[in-house]
A = this chain, B = another copy of it.
Amino acid sequence: MPRSKEQCKEMREEMRSRILHGSMLYFARNGFSGTKISDLAKHIGIGQGTIYVYFESKEELFSEIQKMVNYDADIRQMKFLSAMPISAEKKIHRLTNVVLRRLKEDESFAGMIALNTQMLLEQNADCAAGSTTYQTELYKYTARIIEQGQKEGSAVEGDAMMLADYYWGVVYLYSLKKLFTTQYEMIGAADLERTVLKN
């Protein structure tokens, strides 16, 4: 018995994660059918077969990536933010700052947003209400903040859910820019906030 069970499991977890993370941007950029397993493996720096040690099929890999990008740390933060005892305007400032900073620094964040939003789009097409609670949860808390802002007079009028959708839609838009264009100009906080805030 060469390696301890624990070491083994750790290694497995690590490789699985490596594949998952290494694939995410690839899928986000090229879509499902535009992504070749052979390219993917080369890009990650592993053999093609290795992918099939960890995932049943290309489809399963993709679906696991979708699950991964759905992870709820963000949701909890949003829930927390929405419940804070500060003005909606401030909340939106904070949210916007966080979002734009991550978008600037972290390509993975852009990939996550892109995959999530695309999932949401395609899933609506299927009318299969599916598992995409992530976005809707995120939207729900964002809408809550917007409603607070509407009461406080800082947010624009209109259906809060739709406005939340608008806000995150614009975030998606600039995620795409981050993913696809090399020389792009990131949106400014003021511009993004204008989707939901007056003035």
| Interface residue from B124, B156, B174, B182 paired with A183 (Cβ < 8 Å) | B124
Report the minimal beta-carbon distance from A71 to chain B, rounded to whole angstroms.
24
Does A85 make an interface contact (CB < 8 A)?
no
Q: Please measure, in the bound complex, the distance between the C-alpha atom of A185 and the C-alpha atom of B124, giving whole angstroms.
A: 12
Q: Is the CB of A195 within 8 A of B194?
A: yes
| Interface residue from B33, B198, B199 paired with A33 (Cβ < 8 Å) | B33
Copies, count: 4
A151-168 CB mask vs B (1 if < 8 Å, else 0) is 000001011001101100
Does A169 make an interface contact (CB < 8 A)?
yes
| Interface residue from B32, B165, B166, B182 paired with A34 (Cβ < 8 Å) | B32
Q: Which residues A1-53 have CB closer than 8 A to chain B?
A: 30-34
A164-193 CB mask vs B (1 if < 8 Å, else 0) is 011001101110110011111101101100
Q: Is the CB of B32 within 8 A of A180?
A: no
With A31-B34, A125-B182 given, name 15 new contacts (CB 8 A): A30-B33, A31-B31, A32-B34, A33-B33, A121-B176, A121-B177, A124-B181, A156-B191, A158-B190, A158-B191, A166-B170, A166-B187, A169-B173, A169-B174, A172-B173
17 examples of A-B residue contacts, CB within 8 angstroms: A31-B34, A32-B34, A121-B176, A121-B180, A122-B180, A124-B183, A124-B184, A156-B194, A158-B190, A159-B185, A162-B185, A165-B185, A166-B187, A169-B170, A173-B173, A191-B195, A194-B195
